[in-house]
Structure 1
Amino acid sequence: MSRNAPEPRPIQSDRRPPTERNNVRGEATRQVIIAAAERLFAERGITAVPLRDIGIAAGQRNHAAVQYHFGDRDELVKAIMESRGAESEAHRVQVVTSLMMGNRTPTTSDVVDAFVRPLAIHIKPNNHYLAFLSLLITGQGGYEGLNNRDIHAGASVLTLGTLLGRLVTELPPAVLEERWSLARTSAVHALARYQSAQQKREHLPAKIDVLIDDLVAFLSAGLVAPLAGSDPRAR
């Protein structure tokens, strides 16, 4: 062998235990399936997509791959919620912490903004969570309906609801709770519409950031609006 020839490098083998390697591969497969399911659910409807189609879209040769990793449709839906919801929750926790630790008293608009903007982070390419979530809450009766599926809002959203109750004292608690649920549901639908229009390159009346600002202002005004004179709860 020539003196100038490089020394052969030893072949690097994966020395991790077989169980650990299988777990890593299994989690990677789960994430691919979650991404495929989110897209197909958003495009075709949550109950309209056969699990087999999701497996094919995820590149799985085994037609039972989705059932193997998730069990059934409900568990797959929960997995999507947990995966994407964790992204929003991490962002929202920072915002809520800043609100609670700040030097000024938060406003109703601050509360709404803290809910809306962490959802708006999903307005980006190859992300179909808002459209998926919009369809899901429509089918389940809004955020309250989601709780019936054991899919709960993050702790930060619960904190925002408590803070809102302290800020808006002129309304009966039951009215404010209903309006808060309506505001959250409306925010999801509006953001899903913005994302869909952006992905399809349809015309929007303003830039996304401006539309989000206006959405926050609109929802905030609705939360504190006086009750209609015909509403018996106003008496």
Structure 2
Amino acid sequence: MSGPASDTDSNARELLMDTAETLIAERGMGVSLREIASRAGQRNNSAVIYHFGNHDGLIAATLDRRMSVLDEQRRLLLAELDARADFTVEDVLTAIIAPALDLPYRSGATHYARFVEQIRTHPVIASTAPRTDNWGATMALTQRLSACLPDYPRRDLTRRIGLMATTMFSLIADYERRGELESARGRKRACRELVPILAAVLTARPADATP
């Protein structure tokens, strides 16, 4: 008896996360839990509360299911980088970007990047990301990236990486809107384009910098 009920719960959770990802991507954080439940085909308007506790729980779970897969692939790429002594900013960026451009879309995502663009500054993300195992490799790659950069003051380094992340999410969302991530060829082309652009964001000297 417990098996079918568990399967039903799992299917409902997936539908709610799929729906939340799409609606938040399209319309922002103001989408109500009632509408998410209704669009997911849940007759009970408290379905989100039952499965996720609250709005923040739904957001965290929707992101976490993607991050667990991305971080697993990034962990493999991190190990490859750490086996070398000469990796570059571009190498680290590729390890960060390539999984995000590929894995969600191979599993059927259509609004992943736009969802992340909407929620990435939400407090629930800022507070949980550094403490979850699903971000371990991503955090480690960010550290490797910092080590590859010029000797910026800490405040400037943090700001530069933040600018890179904002640019990355915005550009991936644009590729997604245009349907350019639906094919493996389009995803590879996007990665080739994004890596040098983001490397430039990280390494370009400010106009008023002295030699």
Same fold (TM over 0.5): yes
Q: CA deviation at 1:172?
A: 2.0
TM-score, normalised via structure 2 length: 0.84
Aligned to 2:193: 214
Aligned to 1:83: 65
Q: Which amino acid aligns with 1:195?
A: E
What percent of counterpart residues are identical? Answer: 26
Q: CA deviation at 1:151?
A: 3.4
Gaps of 5+ in 1: 1-17
Higher RCO, Cα 8 Å, sep 6+: 2
Which of 157, 160, 177 is residue 179 of structure 1 equivalent to?
A: 160
CA distance in 2, matches of 1:55, 1:81: 18
Distance 1:207 1:129, change over 3 A: closer
Aligned to 1:11: none
TM-score, normalised via structure 1 length: 0.76
Distance 1:146 1:108, change over 3 A: farther
CA distance in 2, matches of 1:160, 1:228: 28
Question: CA contact under 8 A between 2:90 and 2:199: conserved in structure 1?
Answer: yes
| Count of paired positions | 204
The within-5 A match list for 1:36-55 is: 36-47=19-30, 49-55=31-37
Higher helix share: 2
CA distance in 1, matches of 2:147, 2:113: 29
CA distance in 2, matches of 1:207, 1:129: 16
**SS at the partner of 2:91?**
helix
What is the CA deviation profile of residues 12-32 of structure 1, one whole-angstrom value per residue up to 9, with x for unaligned ones?
xxxxxx344433322221111
Q: CA deviation at 1:218?
A: 1.1
Aligned to 1:151: 129
Aligned to 2:15: 32
Aligned to 1:12: none
Question: CA contact under 8 A between 1:78 and 1:151: conserved in structure 2?
Answer: no
CA distance in 1, matches of 2:124, 2:54: 17
* Bigger-Rg structure (1/2): 1
Q: CA deviation at 1:208?
A: 4.2
**SS at the partner of 1:59?**
coil
Gaps of 5+ in 2: none
- Alignment RMSD (CA, Å): 2.6
Q: Which amino acid aligns with 1:217?
A: P
